[in-house]
Every structure is written in structure tokens, then in C-alpha cells.
């Protein structure tokens, strides 16, 4: 690494705010940044009392010469840039030369360091009051920074700290983020002798995912690899059926710098579209690489946020990269063959319905108000889902409810479709073939694109997005057969479309008798309650019944007492 120099006053004044040391995580972040900037391949983190007593980071990086080690503890001394003109080409995580002095201002800092070309190292102790003390010391190549008694002279900051467990958790989250962004570095972290993380160096992100998430989740994550001329997006995202209530499990890094990015989150979630139940978020670990000239890292005091100079390009890139894996799953992974086991119904596709408030043609009285938290309790006879909310009890017919959601979604003005990578060949009877040919327009309106493909055979090019994971070869033919039987020469195109949508919804919806996971029940209940489901399925059967609190009270003869009676009767 280059030698350390003091930035000139003009440059330092142009650098956004100072390093802000707010809590133990802020210290740890700066120390890890420095270790990585020093080219380390192994970083050991040791914590005592949630970082208040000790935060120690040991690395095997380039180390520092004695003079540099003393300079490092002073303000605006850095080896990483010489002037503001170097910022656009920045390849290091640090650049302000402020971290170590800022930490030394609120804690006792001790640096032991040795560069490879020196036979021995130095120990430098920083003190707020006096000049740093330097001693020669025998030590391995690399740097060990010990930060002790953080905030012991800053009671305001000390009081603002959370519990030891919470501070440790925050640091664990931070280290997990770095671990994903830097799989080539071995990371080891312990708190009071207890190991919190050990991530051996690897070139395979999946191995890192297994350490940070779990073996099981890592195996199910879908790899993302996308490249344009000046932008590369690599990493992994969860399949739509694995999702979370928060975005906490979305990790991004830009040129190896861990960042938070609402922009990237938005692009990611746009890519899932209707495959994701409303209010749920995918898990993601995505690294973006681009020329540093297209970035501004100097906008945030903690450097956890960055500004992309071409936000639209980044948004479009992330969306496309993720869409390629979640929307266009390779045909091999699609359940196109005849389904034999019902357990294959993995994803309950929950379409976004757009039933206008005013002209909703349904009986909305029975629907639980949108936004009320309704929890699924259990499944009865593998057929009905029982859910409870503040408003009362709701019982869903799982098939009728799912069927109805699919139908509504197919009948929205413009259903989206998914292009199949290789298409898919459908052998039909003569009458089915003629029917499909005659109804090209209605099928297209639903999102199907079919091409003649020889005698009584069609090639399916696109399918409606919401049916993508649900369609099987068999149920598609059955749906055509059912719709064909209901079609007459006098049916209007709109009626034809309805027949098709109803038949497709019925054939692809989960069935009575299918066991469901809690997550599947939850997504169905959420869709039904939040989207004000039609009271009846396309066949006219009820989708759900509600037993309101008032109804329960009536049945249990619990009448709301009048003010005069209150306190006298049996409770
Ligand atoms: P910055 O990282 O912004 O340059 P810091 O205050 O974090 O500022 O560090 C000051 C300088 O000290 C760095 O530029 C680097 O040269 C040196 N330094 C800090 N930590 C290490 C380390 N772990 N290994 C080698 N050099 C280090
Ligand atoms: Mg630094």
C-alpha cells in the first residue's frame, strides 16, 4: 500500500461529513474496511461486552511502517487518496483518513502492526489527551487494532446503546453483509470466547450463503449472473415461494462495498412482480460491479449509501438480471410433465387483483376489512383453512378461494405473460386443435401465445404469468376440453375468454385434499382478506365464510349489556 499523507485542507473540506462513531457497529465497520483495504485474506474479530469493553480486529494485510502507524491516528491522514480528484477512481473502502482518529477520540485505541519488509513491528497507543506512544514489538505481519472502553468518556453515547445482545446482533448482521460481499476472505468472529461466525475463504458464493443463511436455503437460492458492457450483477435470489415479511435479508454490495439501496430493492421486487405475495419480500445477495466513475461514494457519513450516476440503468439491469431467473425459470425446472404427486403444488400464486371499490360486483360485506391482520390457524381435512382476526373467524375453501383469485387475475384487462425459453409442444385432438385455432384471440388476451406446429399440434410460446408455476401438460389440455364444451357458436369473444379463464383457474388451483404449509395458507388468507375476494368462485360455490365477532356473541348469548346492566350480570 502507498504511504500515509495528510490531505490538504481543501480536499478534506470537500469530503462529506466526518466518520460518525455512534455505536460498536460503527467502529467494527471502519476496522473491517481498513483490514480489507490492506489486502487481508483473513480477519479475526473479538468482542467483549457487546463491544463496549473490547472490539479487536486482527488482519494479515499489508501492515504499516512505524511512522505511518503514528500518522494513521491523526485526522485526515490517509494512504488511499491524495486529492479530491482521486475519488472518482476510488477502489478502496476508506478514503477520508478520519476513522482511526474518530475512534481514538471516543475510546482507547492500540495498534500493533508490521509490514512484511520489516523484521519487527510497532505498538502505537492513541490517547485523546497526549501524543501517541510508540514501542517496537515482535508481531506477525499484518495489523491488530484494539478498541477498548468505547464511549467511557461520552456518557450520552453510552446511554444510547442498546442491550449487549442487540449490539452483538447488529455487529453480526454487519459481518454477515461483509462476508457475502467478500467470500474470498476468511472471517472469524467471537464474543467473549463464543464463536458467532466462521466463514472460511471460498470462491463459491453458494458456500458463503450456506454459512450466512443455512445449507438448506443456500441450496434453493437461484444464481443470478448478468453482464452488460459496463455493468455486472452477480449473486443469488430466493425463489418466489421463499419470502420474508421484511427486507432485512436483502444484502447488496457495489464494487465490494456493502450498501443499503432502496433503488436496488425496488428493482429486485419489480422483477418478481405478481409471483410474490403482497407485502412479502424476497431474500437476495447481489453484487453490482461498475466503473467507480459511475458512482458517488461521498454522500453518506457512514459510506453505507452511495449514489449511482445512472440510476435508471442500474434499475433496469437489476430487474432484468433477476427476471431472467425468477420469471423465466429454465424449462427443465418447470413442472410441465404430468403431475402425479400433489406435493408438487409448491407455490400458491397470488395474483394482484384490481377490484375497484365502487363497482365491485361482489358481496363485500362478508370480506374482512383490508389491512386487518388475519392469521391462519389450521387446515381442516386438507380442504378448509381456518383463520382468525380481530373481526372474527374466517373459513376458506382452499380450492374455491385459490380458483377465484386465479380467475379474477386472468380476467384483468391485461394479464402479463411469461415467455418460455424453449416453448412447449401440445398434442391435441382434432376438435381441440380446431377450437384452439378459432380462439387464438381470446387465448392471446389471457397471455397465451400458441403457434401451429404440425398436425394437431401447437407450440406454446408464452403462458400467463400467474399460471407459470401451476400449469401442467395434462391440466392445460383438460382446461381446453372443458372450455370447449361450454363454448357455443353464439358465444361472444368475452364469453369465450371467461370460459377459458374459469376452466384454467379450476384446473390449476390447489385442490381439496392438498396439504398446505403454513406459508401457503398465510399467502392465501392474506390474498383473500386484503384483496376482497369474490364471495363465490366462477362455479358459484362460496370461497369463504366469515363468523364475525358479533355473530359469535349472538350465538353464545353474549349481548352487549346496556349501561344500567353493566357490572351486574354474569361475565
Ligand atoms: P482511511 O481508511 O479513510 O484512509 P483511516 O483512519 O481508517 O482512514 O486509516 C488511516 C490510514 O491508516 C489508512 O489510509 C491506511 O493507510 C492505514 N491503516 C489503517 N488500518 C490499517 C490496517 N488494518 N492495515 C494497514 N493499514 C491500515
Ligand atoms: Mg478507513
pLDDT for residue 196: 95
* Mean pLDDT, residues 38-43 taken together: 97
Given pLDDT bands bounded at 50, 70 and 90, which one contains residue 19? low
- Measured from the Cβ of residue 177, the count of other Cβ atoms closer than 10 Å reads 21
Given pLDDT bands bounded at 50, 70 and 90, which one contains residue 412? confident
Integer-rounded Cα Rg, in Å, for the chain is: 30
Atom of ligand 1 nearest to the CA of 142: 24
Spell out which residues line ligand 1, taking CB within 6 angstroms: 1, 4, 30, 34-35, 38, 59, 61-64, 72, 77-80, 94-100, 143
List C-alpha distances in Å: 351 to 123, 236, 356, 443, 513: 63, 24, 15, 18, 22
More confident residue, 370 or 289: 289
Question: What's the gap in Å between 528 CA and the centre of ligand 1?
Answer: 55
Q: In the structure grid, which three cell numbers stand for residue 185, read together?
A: 476472505
Q: Which of 102, 77, 92 is nearest to 17 (CA)?
A: 102
pLDDT for residue 85: 82
pLDDT for residue 376: 81
**Residue 61 near residue 204 (C-beta atoms within 8 A):** no
Atom of ligand 1 nearest to the CA of 57: 23
Given pLDDT bands bounded at 50, 70 and 90, which one contains residue 139? very high
Q: In the structure grid, which three cell numbers stand for residue 147, read together?
A: 478498541
Given pLDDT bands bounded at 50, 70 and 90, which one contains residue 14? low
Question: What's the gap in Å between 172 CA and the centre of ligand 1?
Answer: 23
> Whose C-alpha lies nearest to ligand 1, atom 8?
97
* Mean pLDDT, residues 383-392 taken together: 85
Task: Indicate if the pLDDT at residue 172 is higher than 70.
Answer: yes
More confident residue, 106 or 47: 47
> Whose C-alpha lies nearest to ligand 1, atom 17?
72
Question: What's the gap in Å between 86 CA and the centre of ligand 1?
Answer: 16
Question: What's the gap in Å between 31 CA and the centre of ligand 2?
Answer: 7
Q: Give the Cα separation of 336 and 423 in Å (integer).
A: 11
Angle of helix 473-486 versus helix 493-508 axis, rounded to 10: 140
Beta pairing partners, 58: 44, 144
Given pLDDT bands bounded at 50, 70 and 90, which one contains residue 152? very high
Q: Give the Cα separation of 525 and 384 in Å (integer).
A: 11
More confident residue, 127 or 209: 209
pLDDT for residue 183: 97
Q: Give the Cα separation of 504 and 508 in Å (integer).
A: 6
- Measured from the Cβ of residue 44, the count of other Cβ atoms closer than 10 Å reads 19
List C-alpha distances in Å: 364 to 51, 355, 521: 55, 11, 21
* Mean pLDDT, residues 179-187 taken together: 98
Helix (H, G, I), strand (E, B) or coil at 421: strand
Q: In the structure grid, which three cell numbers stand for residue 536, read together?
A: 363465490
Task: Indicate if the pLDDT at residue 334 is higher than 70.
Answer: no
Q: Which residues have C-beta within 8 Å of that of residue 213, sequence separation ≥ 6?
A: 221, 249, 283
Q: Give the Cα separation of 370 and 537 in Å (integer).
A: 20
Atom of ligand 1 nearest to the CA of 99: 6
pTM over 0.85: no
**Residue 331 near residue 49 (C-beta atoms within 8 A):** no
Atom of ligand 1 nearest to the CA of 33: 2
pLDDT in tens, 466-482: 888 777 777 888 888 88
Question: What's the gap in Å between 109 CA and the centre of ligand 1?
Answer: 13
Q: Give the Cα separation of 537 and 431 in Å (integer).
A: 28
pLDDT for residue 129: 61
- Measured from the Cβ of residue 191, the count of other Cβ atoms closer than 10 Å reads 22
Please state, rounded to an integer, the average pLDDT across all residues of the chain. Answer: 82
pLDDT for residue 254: 96
Neighbours of ion ligand 2 (CB under 5 A): 33-34, 94, 99
More confident residue, 423 or 119: 119
Q: Give the Cα separation of 303 and 45 in Å (integer).
A: 21
Task: Say if strands 194-199 and 121-126 run parallel, antiparallel, or are unpaired.
Answer: unpaired
Q: Give the Cα separation of 278 and 299 in Å (integer).
A: 33
pLDDT in tens, 57-83: 999 999 999 999 999 988 778 888 888
pLDDT in tens, 497-551: 888 999 999 888 888 888 887 777 887 888 777 665 656 666 667 787 777 787 7
Q: Give the Cα separation of 229 and 541 in Å (integer).
A: 55
Task: Indicate if the pLDDT at residue 348 is higher than 70.
Answer: no
pLDDT for residue 381: 86
Atom of ligand 1 nearest to the CA of 30: 7
> Whose C-alpha lies nearest to ligand 1, atom 19?
34
Atom of ligand 1 nearest to the CA of 93: 2
The answer to which of 183-197, 295-309, 484-498 has the lowest mean pLDDT is 295-309
pLDDT for residue 571: 53
> Whose C-alpha lies nearest to ligand 1, atom 18?
34
Question: What's the gap in Å between 243 CA and the centre of ligand 1?
Answer: 39
Amino acid at each position: 500500500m502507498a504511504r500515509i499523507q495528510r490531505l490538504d485542507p481543501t480536499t478534506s473540506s470537500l469530503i462529506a461529513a466526518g466518520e460518525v462513531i455512534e455505536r460498536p457497529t460503527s467502529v467494527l465497520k471502519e476496522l473491517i474496511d481498513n483490514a480489507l483495504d490492506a489486502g487481508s485474506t483473513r480477519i479475526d474479530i473479538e468482542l467483549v461486552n457487546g463491544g463496549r469493553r473490547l472490539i479487536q480486529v486482527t488482519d494479515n494485510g499489508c501492515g504499516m511502517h512505524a511512522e505511518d502507524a503514528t500518522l494513521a491516528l491523526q485526522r485526515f491522514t490517509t494512504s488511499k487518496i491524495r486529492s479530491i480528484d482521486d475519488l472518482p477512481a476510488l477502489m478502496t473502502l476508506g478514503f477520508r483518513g478520519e476513522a482511526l482518529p474518530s475512534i481514538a477520540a471516543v475510546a482507547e485505541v492500540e495498534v500493533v502492526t508490521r509490514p512484511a519488509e520489516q523484521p519487527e513491528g510497532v505498538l502505537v497507543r492513541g490517547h485523546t489527551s497526549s501524543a501517541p506512544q510508540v514501542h517496537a514489538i515482535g508481531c506477525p505481519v499484518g495489523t491488530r487494532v484494539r478498541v477498548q472502553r468505547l464511549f467511557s468518556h461520552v456518557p450520552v453515547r453510552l446511554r444510547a446503546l442498546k442491550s449487549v445482545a442487540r449490539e452483538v446482533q447488529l455487529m453480526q448482521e454487519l459481518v454477515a453483509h461483509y462476508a457475502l460481499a467478500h467470500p474470498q476472505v476468511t472471517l472469524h468472529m467471537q464474543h467473549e470466547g463464543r464463536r458467532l461466525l466462521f466463514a472460511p475463504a471460498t470462491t463459491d458464493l453458494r458456500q458463503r450463503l450456506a454459512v450466512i443463511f443455512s445449507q438448506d436455503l443456500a441450496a434453493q437460492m437461484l444464481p443470478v449472473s448478468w453482464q452488460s458492457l459496463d455493468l455486472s450483477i452477480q449473486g443469488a435470489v430466493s425463489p418466489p415461494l421463499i419470502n420474508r415479511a421484511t427486507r432485512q435479508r436483502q444484502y447488496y454490495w457495489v464494487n465490494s462495498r456493502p450498501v443499503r439501496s432502496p433503488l436496488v430493492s425496488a428493482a429486485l421486487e419489480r422483477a418478481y412482480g405478481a409471483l410474490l405475495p403482497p407485502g412479502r419480500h424476497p431474500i437476495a445477495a447481489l453484487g453490482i460491479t461498475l466503473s467507480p466513475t459511475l458512482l458517488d461514494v461521498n454522500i453518506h457519513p457512514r459510506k453505507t449509501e452511495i449514489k449511482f450516476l445512472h440510476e435508471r440503468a442500474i434499475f433496469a439491469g437489476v430487474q432484468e438480471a433477476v427476471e431472467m431467473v425468477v420469471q423465466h425459470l429454465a424449462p427443465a425446472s418447470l413442472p410441465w410433465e404430468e403431475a402425479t404427486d400433489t406435493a408438487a403444488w409448491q407455490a400458491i400464486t397470488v395474483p394482484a387483483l384490481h377490484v375497484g371499490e365502487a363497482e365491485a360486483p361482489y358481496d363485500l360485506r362478508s370480506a374482512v376489512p383490508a389491512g386487518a391482520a388475519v392469521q391462519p390457524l389450521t387446515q381442516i381435512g386438507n380442504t378448509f383453512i381456518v383463520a382468525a382476526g380481530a373481526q372474527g373467524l374466517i373459513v376458506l375453501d382452499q380450492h374455491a378461494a385459490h380458483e377465484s383469485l386465479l380467475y379474477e387475475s386472468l380476467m384483468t384487462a391485461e394479464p402479463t405473460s411469461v415467455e418460455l425459453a424453449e416453448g412447449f409442444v401440445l398434442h391435441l385432438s382434432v376438435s381441440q386443435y380446431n377450437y384452439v385455432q378459432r380462439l387464438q384471440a381470446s387465448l392471446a388476451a389471457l397471455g397465451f401465445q400458441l403457434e401451429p406446429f404440425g398436425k394437431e399440434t401447437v407450440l406454446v410460446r408464452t403462458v400467463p404469468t400467474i399460471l407459470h408455476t401451476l400449469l401442467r401438460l395434462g391440466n392445460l389440455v383438460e382446461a381446453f376440453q372443458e372450455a370447449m364444451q361450454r363454448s357455443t357458436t353464439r358465444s361472444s369473444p368475452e364469453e369465450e375468454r371467461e370460459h377459458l379463464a374459469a376452466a384454467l383457474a379450476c384446473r390449476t388451483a390447489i385442490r381439496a385434499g392438498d396439504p398446505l404449509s403454513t406459508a401457503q395458507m398465510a399467502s392465501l388468507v392474506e390474498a383473500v382478506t386484503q384483496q376482497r375476494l369474490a364471495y363465490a368462485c366462477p362455479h358459484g360455490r362460496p370461497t369463504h365464510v366469515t363468523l364475525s365477532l358479533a355473530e359469535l356473541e349472538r350465538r353464545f348469548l353474549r349481548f352487549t349489556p346496556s349501561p344500567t346492566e353493566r357490572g351486574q350480570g354474569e361475565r
